[in-house]
Chains A and B, each alone.
Chain A
Amino acid sequence: MTEELKDNNIEQVEDKFLAPENRKHTVTGPEGEIIHVDPLQDYYCNERPKAEDPRNKIVEKFLNWARAESLWVLGFGTGCGSIEIPPLLSPRFDAYRFGVAMRATPRQSSVIIISGYLAVKTLKRVIRSYEQMQNPKFVIALGSCTINGGMYWDSYNTINRLDYYLPVDVYVAGCMPRPEAILAAFDKLKTRIKEGRAEGANEYVEKFDWYKANQKKVIKNWNMPDYNW
């Protein structure tokens, strides 16, 4: 088996550092058919995202109330603001009493907090995580770095304005905002959701081409699928 693998892949330079079982190879099935396997390929949906039409007004109001009262936050920290998140959950500030809980994966969460400056390398991962989140999804951006670049406004490697790449619901100014300010941001986000104004996911769908163009202008090695869901 391993010798066969080596023969197939001896010319593929990008596979040089992979373990043999992670390389592209072929497997013979029980009925003699040959299956090509690429263990590292991610399989994604190839369809453009669709906007969700609003439902019955009363149902929508109830749903918005439910969404606002259980905000599940993706545990994703960028920059210096990520250190402000753990005290948020500690007994002193205790975000759990507002229905805010941390989640480990994008598939389970509805809020992503961009906590500080975003390097281009991180932006790529942020976009990927954001697109994997389920609708409806909300973005909170902390710190002046996400608003206008902050102290990294002339850096070669950090973006200046987050709203060119993701639809932002709430900005929190400051460098860095303290946990009280983040609690206030959650409060603000809740009122926005209950008023039905937090339509970031639909906005992302409507201006999808514009967002993608901006993202691809910055991320020069776009070696991931266009639709990350």
Chain B
Amino acid sequence: MENLINKLQDMFAVKDVQDSKKNQILLTVKASKVPALLSFLKEFEGFKVLVMISSVDWIEIGKFQLSYIVNDPDKKNDLIIRAFISRKEASMISIHSLWGHASTFQREIKEMYGIDFPGSPRVDEPFLLEGWDDTPPMRRDFDTKKYSEETFFPRPGRESNDPAEYMKKRLYPDEK
């Protein structure tokens, strides 16, 4: 793995390399270099399997993080490739031509985070939510409690009393 990391630092200017576990390495790369890096890993280094694509909303720094997890089934190595994109114009290069099933992950991320992947097949169709017309629900500025209270007819909770005060009121109603 060390040779590989040196190579990647040379070729793709990889930063923030961390050993998170045995056989698992995290690294960060510029978003525009992700497709090149992934295709290099797939074609030359044996990382044949795309395990998943996930996303994190870093609202404090105004960025989305996309994590691509790729796996080498022969050497049993994992690489987690992180890329940061701007939160305002959330758009990323689609990698569906490398792995076909990437389009499903991208479709889900489009729905849940509103990150666009131009050219990815069926990316605009609803995946889990049907007819959603609000902010994408996994964005952190979406207030799920407020939405639920406005939409789903919340049942009013039980009234609760402080036992001491309640008994005082009940037994000695004249005292204050």
Chain A residues proximal to chain B, CB less than 8 Å: 120-121, 124, 147-149, 153-161, 164, 214, 217-221
Contact = CB atoms under 8 A, between A and B. Distances in A.
Given A219-B131, A221-B131, A155 B148 contact: yes
Contact of B155 (A120, A160, A218, A220): A160
B-side binding surface: helix, strand, loop or mixed? loop
Nearest to B142: A156
A161 B152 contact: yes
B144 A161 contact: no
A153 B154 contact: yes
B60 interface: no
Interface in B59-100: none
A220 B148 contact: no
A221 B130 contact: yes
Contact of B153 (A121, A155, A156, A164): A164
B124 to A, nearest CB: 11
A164 B153 CA distance: 8
Given A149-B155, A153-B154, A156-B144, 9 more contacts: A147-B155, A148-B154, A149-B152, A155-B148, A156-B148, A157-B128, A157-B137, A161-B153, A218-B151
Contacts of B154: 148-149, 153, 160-161
Q: What is the size category of the interface that chain B forms with chain A?
A: 10 to 19
Contacts of B142: 156
Contacts, number: 55
Given A161-B155, A164-B153, A154 B129 contact: no
14 contacts: A147-B155, A148-B154, A149-B148, A154-B144, A156-B137, A157-B137, A160-B153, A160-B154, A160-B155, A161-B153, A217-B151, A218-B152, A219-B131, A221-B131
A124 B131 CA distance: 12
B145 interface: yes
Nearest to A158: B152
B133 interface: yes
B78 to A, nearest CB: 31
Contact of B133 (A148, A153, A161, A220): A220
B132 A148 contact: no
B42 to A, nearest CB: 29
Contacts of A220: 130-133
A24 B151 CA distance: 37
Given A149-B152, A214-B153, A218-B152, A156 B130 contact: no
Contacts of A214: 153
B40 interface: no
A7 B131 CA distance: 30
B129 A121 contact: yes
A62 to B, nearest CB: 38
Contacts of B147: 156
B170 to A, nearest CB: 28
A216 B144 CA distance: 20
Nearest to A159: B152
A121 B130 contact: yes
Contact of B129 (A157, A160, A217, A218): A157
A153 B133 CA distance: 21
